[in-house]
A = this chain, B = another copy of it.
Amino acid sequence: MFLRHILNCTTICDAKTVDANASCGEYDFMSATLKAPDPSQPLVTLRDVLAFNVRAHRVANQMSQEQLGFAAELDRTFISQVERSRINVSLDNIEKLALALNVPAAKLLVRP
């Protein structure tokens, strides 16, 4: 049973859906290292631009994905998906993110 838990943790940590530095402890998400986005990553679509900017502003505000999710009334997994360009975010949610990050919404769509 314990081994299975360890294996599950390894799987979760390896998966691209979780920050590489996130711990596998049940309540350790908050302590995940705040890692700024890679400036050399190619930003092809508007989703990529939003992903980059949300992460950059979140890290600049010293917020974890959980904290941003809480402030924006969105789920942590939603924030994670936004930061990996997986979600076609709606205008209302862009507005929530901008409010929580304390930046004008337009700034989230500006190419860095």
Residues of A within 8 A of B (CB): 45-47, 49-50, 88-92, 94-95, 98, 104-111
Contacts and interface: CB of A to CB of B under 8 A. Distances in A.
Contact of A95 (B45, B92, B95, B104): B45
A45 B90 CA distance: 13
Main secondary structure of the interface of A (DSSP, over half): helix
Say how many copies of this protein the assembly contains: 2
A91 B92 contact: no
Nearest to A82: B91
7 contacts: A46-B94, A46-B95, A47-B92, A88-B90, A90-B91, A94-B109, A104-B109
A110 B106 CA distance: 5
Nearest to A49: B105
A99 to B, nearest CB: 10
